[in-house]
Amino acid sequence: MTELKNDLLLKALRKEKVSRPPVWMMRQAGRYLPDYIKLREKYDFFTRVQTPELATEITLQPVHQIGVDGAIIFSDILVIPQAMGVEVLMEEGKGPSLPKTILTQKDIDTLNTANAEHHLKYVCDALSLTKKELNGSVPLIGFAGAPWTIFCYMIEGKGSKTWDKAKQFAYTQTELTHQLLQKITIITIDYLKAQIKAGADCVQVFDSWAGALSPEDFKIFAQPYLLQIADAFKDDAPVILFPKGCWYALKDLSNSAASGIGIDWTISPQFARELTNNNITLQGNFDPAKLLAPIPQIKKWVKEMIDAFGAQNYIANLGHGITPNVPVDHAKAFVDTVKEYRIP
Ligand code: CP3
């Protein structure tokens, strides 16, 4: 196995001392990068995801062009419903759609939870190829969607601002909801294990829509499944949980088997440290919209953010995915500022 030349990200996740914090950006592969947009004109979304050479090329773009300290594999969270036997379409510019939503016990019974490694072999192949191409330069990050977020798409069939159908299902068919969440959890653990076997050095679980739930409901429908996933990897590889919008869960999650927690910009670094008793690595929390401000302003804010979190037990990142309208030199200014940071 090639030794990593830059293992800042893994050091931060292991709470080891670093010379500066590592930095990467959620959704760094794709969207705003001109070379990605060129590939998008030639190949449709799932061709890009399912062709290891293309997925590798897209994964490496931000490493080479922006200089991030970690490569996140180019894929999507909705490959899990596909592996479970559910059709997922991606309409350019419109987002995902799942024509057949889950409605009944029978729908749940027919869902596959086995052999993630086989059904998602193309992701594993992309990871192995990317690992090889990285040649030890930076760690490789695998990922999956969290059970609640995947459940949302499987019930609604598309994105939603309120997720009211998913919540209606959860509140009226609670037993079926837990069955489905559990099935998603089982295949997700299997899938993330396969990703690690294929070369991922750590994994992130995106609970993008957990913030649609109240704190009480988060504890019922999201947290137990996030904890199951974190537990399954405690002797395996570091797990970063990203329950967007759920600052109230920080205390509980900081006592879990996870190595890191991603946070968004709705909580201050100081308060996040207080809630987690400084005992877990925090990741975040720059508002991606701030990347639209002038570069000198971005640099000032990034430095203030690191000062507020402290340089140890910290991974500089955005508080959610980078948006397609961010100029590349602004994204680079974000990353450069972290790399120039000197510990006071
Ligand atoms: O971080 C990375 O750069 C790796 C690639 C990645 C993609 N999707 C590629 C993608 C990752 C980590 C994801 C995760 C994902 N996918 C999430 C969780 C993260 C988040 O932002 O909250 C969610 C909710 C999805 C579902 C999804 N996929 C949506 C809602 C959309 C459409 C809108 C959009 O642009 O995000 C996608 C499509 C998608 N997945 C694109 C990319 C680069 C854009 C489509 C395109 O470029 O053609």
Residue 2 has pLDDT above 80, yes or no: no
Q: Is residue 3 part of a domain?
A: no
- What per-residue confidence (pLDDT) applies to 1? 62
pLDDT-above-90 percentage for the chain: 97
Q: Give the nearest ligand 1 atom to 143 CA.
A: 12
Predicted pLDDT of residue 312: 98
Residue nearest to atom 43 of ligand 1 (CA): 30
SS3 call for 135: coil
Please tell me the distance between residue 76's alpha carbon and the centre of ligand 1 in angstroms: 6
Whether 1 is in a domain gets the answer no
Cβ atoms 312, 279 nearer than 8 A: no
Ligand 1 neighbourhood includes 159 CB (under 6 angstroms) = yes
- When the pLDDT of each residue in the chain is averaged and rounded to a whole number, the result is 97
Look at ligand 1, atom 17, and give the residue with the nearest C-alpha. Answer: 77
**Could you tell me the distance, in angstroms and rounded to a whole number, from the CA of residue 53 to the centre of ligand 1?**
19
Task: Extract the tokens encoding 164.
Answer: 């009211």
Residue 143 near ligand 1, beta carbon < 6 Å: yes
Q: Supply the residue whose CA is at minimum distance from atom 5 of ligand 1.
A: 74
Per the structure, the count of domains in the chain is 1
What number does the ligand 1 atom closest to the CA of 145 have?
Answer: 18
Domain of 87, in residue numbers: 8-340
Q: Is 92 in the pocket of ligand 1 (CB under 6 A)?
A: yes
CATH of the domain at 39: 3.20.20.210
Residue 140 to residues 124, 129, 130, 164, 244, Cα–Cα distance (Å): 12, 11, 8, 35, 22
Q: Provide the residue type at 183 as one letter.
A: K
Tell me the pLDDT tens digit for each residue of 13-44.
999 999 999 999 999 998 899 999 999 999 99
Among 48, 76, 79, 323, which residue has the most ligand 1 atoms within 8 Å of its CB, making it the best to mutate?
A: 76
Question: What are the DSSP calls for 76-113, one per residue?
Answer: -TTHHHHHTT---EEETTTEEE-SS---SHHHHHT---
Provide mean pLDDT across the span 236-243: 98
Cα of 75 to ligand 1 centre, how many Å?
8
Q: Which atom of ligand 1 is nearest to the CA of 26?
A: 1
Please name the residue whose Cα sits nearest to atom 13 of ligand 1. 76
- Verify whether ligand 1 is closer than 6 Å to residue 211 (CB atom): no
In a domain, 88, yes or no: yes
User: Which of 24, 26, 27 is the pocket-test mutation for ligand 1 (most atoms within 8 Å of CB)?
Assistant: 27
**Could you tell me the sign of the dihedral formed by the alpha carbons of 285, 288, 290, 294, in that order?**
positive
Domain membership of residue 328 (yes or no) is yes
145 within 8 A of 77, measured Cβ to Cβ = yes
Residue 112 confidence class, pLDDT cut points 50, 70, 90: very high
* Catalytic residue annotation: 27, 31, 40, 76, 153
Q: How far is the CA of 71 from the centre of ligand 1 (A)?
A: 15
pLDDT, tens digit, 9 for 90 and up, residues 314-328: 999 999 999 999 999
The whole-number pLDDT of residue 335 equals 98
DSSP 255-320: TSS-SEEEE-TTS-HHHHHHHTTT-SEEEEEE-GGGGGS-HHHHHHHHHHHHHHH-SSSEEEEESS
| For residues 275-291, average pLDDT | 97
Distance 133 CA to ligand 1 centre (A): 23
Residue 58: which residues within 8 A CB-CB, separation 6 or more? Answer: 29, 30, 36, 39, 48, 74
